[in-house]
Amino acid sequence: MKNLTLKQLRYFEALARGGRFRRAAEACAISQPALSMQIKELEQELGSELFERSAREVKLTAFGQTFALRVRDILRAVDELGDLARASRAPFLAHLRIGIIPTIAPYLLPAIINDLNRTFEGIQIDIRETLTGKLVQELVQGELDMAIVALPVSEPSLSELKLFEEEFVLVRRREDEGKPTPEREALREMRLLLLEEGHCFRDQALSFCKIGAARPREVMEGSSLSTLVQMVSAGIGITLIPEIAVPMEMRSAHVSISRFEPPRPSRTVGMIWRNSTPLVKQFLRISDVVRQSADTMRGRPAAR
């Protein structure tokens, strides 16, 4: 098997991950027939089929599943060779691929980008905003350098670094301002507005309210924190948001903010990256800038 190429392995990985030739071809920036030909040549070289093909999608064969695990290891190792070269260059990273979850991105991202550009002149920053599970997957696969998420993620191949902790606050109609903050047990009897399935913030809010399989009339869903706050403003229900979201959301909605009695709901926000990366020294410097940006946005003195 001397004729295997990295290009073929990357095409295989894209198809295995996407499940469709069109989607994989777009991800690889080649035509669908060209991708199909490369996969066919790879299968011929291996002497075994990697995919089961149907009109709608492709699925990995048993051999393809085993092959995929090895391919991911190979591609990750190749990417880390690139990271090693990046780590050796002076004065700093020229290119940073960073992921961030949606309940942090709108509120912290502008400050982070501004401060990183000011601190590391000439750095190119690519941003990926999506849910934690997807960020972890892309980080492990070498598609991202680091990510800002709620900790812990408990992925053995990733390192975690705490940036800050923040509390959750209760959002109610403006007419409820000054009223006592309800106990968390009482929240279960109210119409609670939550983010859609997949958001870790949703799970944290449900856990605080001690809600398991909530009935549809008690819980309504939104696609973003801004949507939830606007729904509260319209009198549809109540919601919880993190402290970092308060300044922006309060400017655009007719709502009031209340803090809970201890023990207050909160989350730990941090950065994650691969254990095997040679860029740890650079990432620690970046984390310092991000932490200072967050402290400034939250009106806290920067930690020293």
Q: How far apart are CA 180 and CA 104, in angstroms?
A: 28
Q: What mean pLDDT is reported for the chain?
A: 87
pLDDT score, position 304: 36
Confidence of residue 91 (pLDDT cuts 50, 70, 90): low
Q: Which CATH class is domain 167-266?
A: alpha beta
Query: pLDDT digits over 204-225, tens only?
Result: 888 888 776 444 445 778 889 9
Task: State the fold for domain 6-85.
Answer: Arc Repressor Mutant, subunit A (1.10.10)
CATH domain 91-164+269-297 topology: D-Maltodextrin-Binding Protein; domain 2 (3.40.190)
| Helix, strand or coil, per DSSP, at residue 143 | coil
Detail the DSSP E strand segments found in 57-199. Answer: 58-60, 95-100, 124-129, 146-151, 158-173, 192-195
Question: Considering the entire predicted model, what is its pTM?
Answer: 0.75
Q: Residues 49-65: pLDDT tens digits? A: 999 988 777 889 999 99
- For the chain, the distance separating the N- and C-terminal CA atoms, rounded to the nearest angstrom, is 55
- 19-33, 69-83, 84-98, 114-128, range with greatest mean pLDDT: 114-128
Structure tokens at 266: 């909160």
pLDDT, one tens digit per residue, over 241-276 is 999 999 999 888 999 999 999 989 999 999 999 998
| Closest C-alpha to 147, from 94, 110, 93, 97 | 97
* 167-266 and 91-164+269-297 share a CATH fold: yes
Q: Where are the domains of the chain?
A: 6-85, 91-164+269-297, 167-266
